[in-house]
Amino acid sequence: MAVKARKKLRAKAPAKSTKTKKPIAVKSVKPTKSAAAKKTAGKKPARKAARRSSADVAKLRKAVIAGSRAKKSADVIAKELGISKAYVYALKRKP
């Protein structure tokens, strides 16, 4: 691997100072990722969090309370309503 890194360093021309025309020493060089590695990184586009209205929260809270009265687990309730398990617990605690 060290040989490949050296080859990549030799292939790139060092940056030169505009005033003195001397090459600028690079302290650390990260190896560049290949195109295939960049594609497989699999970053999903950031999804903007939707703000819920108070009416939506009230409906969700009623559904959570009804689900808990029906002896459903938080996982099941969360999957049915499309919310996180932590949010189910938060809605249960909300006065």
DSSP helix, strand, coil percent of the chain (3-state; round to 5): 50, 0, 45
Give the gyration radius of the chain's Cα atoms: 27
Can you point out the beta strands (E) in the chain? none
pTM over 0.75: no
Element (H, E) at 67: helix 54-69
Whole-number Å distance between alpha carbons of 72 and 19: 73
Tens-digit pLDDT profile for the chain (95 aa)?
566 655 555 556 667 777 777 777 766 666 666 665 666 566 666 666 678 899 999 999 999 999 999 999 999 999 999 999 999 999 999 87
